[in-house]
Amino acid sequence: MRQYDHPAPETLAMTEVLRALSDPLRLAIVRRLDREGAQTCAALIGERPKSSMSHHFQVLRDAGVIHTRIEGVTHYNTVRRDVLDTRFPGLMDAILIARAD
Amino acid sequence: MRQYDHPAPETLAMTEVLRALSDPLRLAIVRRLDREGAQTCAALIGERPKSSMSHHFQVLRDAGVIHTRIEGVTHYNTVRRDVLDTRFPGLMDAILIARAD
């Protein structure tokens, strides 16, 4: 089954992670994934336009923030916390805990 | 003497701070200011085009990341660490310590 490509941990760039999380909707998605664990794209998209949401998932994936696993027609997303916490210690905690967006 | 406007601490948005720091040059400027203390725009600009650098300073100022004080013809920049550390605990430490841009 086709799967998405995900960047290797050692290639992640801080500036790309910051850029991916600088959008309020993307930040909200990542906060929810971090809090609730794996979520399908369908659950995260809700009533929003699918095309623009696909772009947001792609940005998060390319920056190394989320991992998407394809099972049949369902896409499951998770935050790559272990990878991010190893490469950028303290960053995700500081970003996800803060409530002032 | 005319001075720049700076956003009040309680109005700072996490996403705007992340966006301001998601540019490699802006991040390098902030790291240097944090390490060395107040620096003039002239010292930070170096050989780079002044117009694009003015834009970068403006983005950092508008996001609340730096403060610019005008004295005569000289602009002194500092990182607003106290404000940022109070509003977003741990964020600047995590961003400025990491070396993987």
CA-wise closest residue to A21 among A69, A71, A88: A88
Is B62 at the interface with chain A, CB within 8 A? no
Q: What is the DSSP string of A6-38?
A: ---GGG--HHHHHHHTTSHHHHHHHHHHHHH--
> Which among A14, A24, A88 has the least Cβ separation from residue B15?
A24
Q: What is the pLDDT of residue A17?
A: 98
Q: What is the pTM (predicted TM-score) of this model?
A: 0.93
Among B residues 69-88, those touching chain A with beta carbons less than 8 Å apart: 87-88
The verdict on residue A27 lying in a domain is yes
The verdict on residue A6 lying in a domain is no
Domain with residue B47: its CATH number is 1.10.10.10
Interhelix angle A50-62/A24-36, nearest 10 degrees: 70
The verdict on residue B4 lying in a domain is no
Q: What is the rounded distance in angstroms from the CA atom of residue A30 to the CA atom of residue A24? A: 10
Averaged confidence pLDDT in chain A = 92
The verdict on residue A1 lying in a domain is no
**DSSP 3-state assignment of A72?**
coil
The verdict on residue A72 lying in a domain is yes
Please give the backbone phi and psi of residue A4, each rounded to the nearest 5 degrees, phi first: -75, 155
Cβ–Cβ under 8 Å, residues B100 and A85:
no
Say how far residue A95 (Cα) sits from the centre of its chain.
Answer: 13
Average pLDDT value for residue range A63-89: 96
The verdict on residue A5 lying in a domain is no
Contact yes or no for A91 and B87 at CB 8 A: no
State the total domains in chain A: 1
Is A11 at the interface with chain B, CB within 8 A? no
Q: What is the pLDDT of residue B24?
A: 93
Domain range for residue B86? Answer: 11-97
| Banded pLDDT at B101 (limits 50, 70, 90) | low
